[in-house]
Amino acid sequence: MSDIKKVVLAYSGGLDTSVIVRWLQETYNCEVVTFTADLGQGEEVEPARAKAEALGVKEIYIDDLREEFVRDFVFPMFRANTIYEGEYLLGTSIARPLIAKRLIEIANETGADAISHGATGKGNDQVRFELGAYALKPGVAVIAPWREWDLTSRETLMAYCEEHNIPVDFSGGKKKSPYSMDANLLHISYEGGVLEEPWAEAEEDMWRWTVAPEQAPDEPTYIELTYVNGDITAINGEVLSPATVLENLNKIGGANGIGRLDIVENRFVGMKARGCYETPGGTIMMKAHRAIESITLDREAAHLKDELMPRYAKLIYNGFWWSEERKMLQQMIDYSQRYVNGDVRLKLYKGNVIVVGRRSDDSLFDESIATFEDDAGSYNQKDAEGFIKLNALRMRIASSKGRNLLED
């Protein structure tokens, strides 16, 4: 412990990580470098500078990572139609590897020998931060104060603040939320409080990014998304950067009551936890991406992706973004997207994302073959007979040899 000289801390500017700054300085007698990222969480990051300075921090990093976040993390993930456990769009998970990467880059720049974060010992985020850190700098030390210290109740924490002259009104007078929250351009999440009872309905005033479907406009909103290689490049014909795409979709989706989710999920550390999420833009993207793939992707390519998706999602959820196996899957996924180009038209209405049209110069939809009308010979219906007969052959043989295929 005692030989740590400098530690880079993922610093939000909030009370908890401010306490960590002081606690690291005291406990490890080391220099603390703070790193604050703008990932689109919707709060100013610049105020973190003054707070860090007030805590005696000399090296302060404040980065706008929004474009990198969406371009190199969110978009690649959406190419796979990634959903964890059938529901969760991985809003928190996907931000962690980027933060880990920057922590390590800053450690390398500043000559730090350790990194630190404010995640608890029960959650997934500690795993995601630390797997990333160890992968990118194998000799780094990791300090996870929540696993070490004894400031485990609000009271002891407050006492510590008082003792160390840390202003507790870090939230600017705002009432402390009863929920543990995390936000970035992809989503905002809520855990804890009344959510710890899975039978209890989430309270309406918890949600921050979306209106309730009941409060959304009575008129639907139609939008058109343009895809190039599986990524959205324009909304309603206007070319936009990745982060701007997501910002816009968040606004449009949030206004239409889209993207709320309330689930019980399985954490990597082995427990079940209730979480609520708002992912307005992501929810739209998920639906639209499947729609553009539906006309441009080969059937078996789509099925291969679908079969591997849960595994890919689990890798991201569990924090293995920088692993070889995630990168192998990504190679495959990215390759599959070279024809995923075209437009999707959506109707958004009170929580619903409804696909109403899809078109592409790379479409594999062949009207002349699919039609119920005369297809002018482009498909020979008689081919189906042989197709079926040989697909049936192994079952016919089994049955003719006396196996009863009706029985279980």
Residues 134-193 that bind its own copies (CB under 8 A): 134-139, 142, 144, 146-147, 152-153, 180, 191-192
Pick the catalytic residue: 16, 63, 334, 375? 16
Q: Confirm whether residue 14 is marked as ligand binding.
A: yes
Pick the catalytic residue: 63, 113, 180, 345? 180
Stretch that binds its own copies, among 5-13, 33-41, 242-250, 316-324 (CB under 8 A): 316-324
Of 44 and 408, the one with the shorter C-beta distance to its own copies is: 408
| 3-class SS of residue 276 | strand
Pick the catalytic residue: 22, 66, 125, 326? 125
Q: Closest separation between CB of residue 139 and its own copies, Å?
A: 7
- Give 84's DSSP letter: B
386 membership: H or E segment, kind and range: helix 383-400
Of 164 and 222, the one with the shorter C-beta distance to its own copies is: 222
Q: Closest separation between CB of residue 344 and its own copies, Å?
A: 10
Question: By CB under 8 A, what part of segment 353-382 binds its own copies?
Answer: 354-359, 362-367, 369-372, 374-375, 379-382
Contact 10, 35 (CB under 8 A): yes
Per CB under 8 A, does 47 bind its own copies? no
Stretch that binds its own copies, among 6-14, 29-37, 238-246, 348-356 (CB under 8 A): 348-356
| 3-class SS of residue 362 | coil
Q: Strands, DSSP E only, in 188-229?
A: 188-191, 221-228
- For residue 374, indicate whether it is catalytic: no
Stretch that binds its own copies, among 31-39, 181-189, 236-244, 385-393 (CB under 8 A): 385-393
N-to-C CA span, the chain: 61
| 3-class SS of residue 263 | strand
Q: Closest separation between CB of residue 201 and its own copies, Å?
A: 4
| 3-class SS of residue 91 | coil
- For residue 125, indicate whether it is catalytic: yes
* 222's tokens: 């139609």
Burial class (CB in 10 A: 0-12, 13-18, 19+), 200: exposed
| 3-class SS of residue 398 | helix
Contact 123, 151 (CB under 8 A): no
**Diameter over CA atoms, the chain:** 86
Contact 346, 287 (CB under 8 A): yes
- Give 74's DSSP letter: I
Contact 79, 333 (CB under 8 A): yes
Among 130, 182, 231, 278, binds its own copies (CB under 8 A): 130
Stretch that binds its own copies, among 29-37, 62-70, 81-89, 108-116 (CB under 8 A): 81-89
Instruction: Tell me the number of residues near its own copies by CB under 8 A.
Output: 131
Pick the catalytic residue: 66, 96, 102, 358? 96
Among 58, 196, 215, 228, binds its own copies (CB under 8 A): 196
Q: Show binding-site residues for L-citrulline.
A: 88, 93, 124, 128, 180, 189, 265, 277
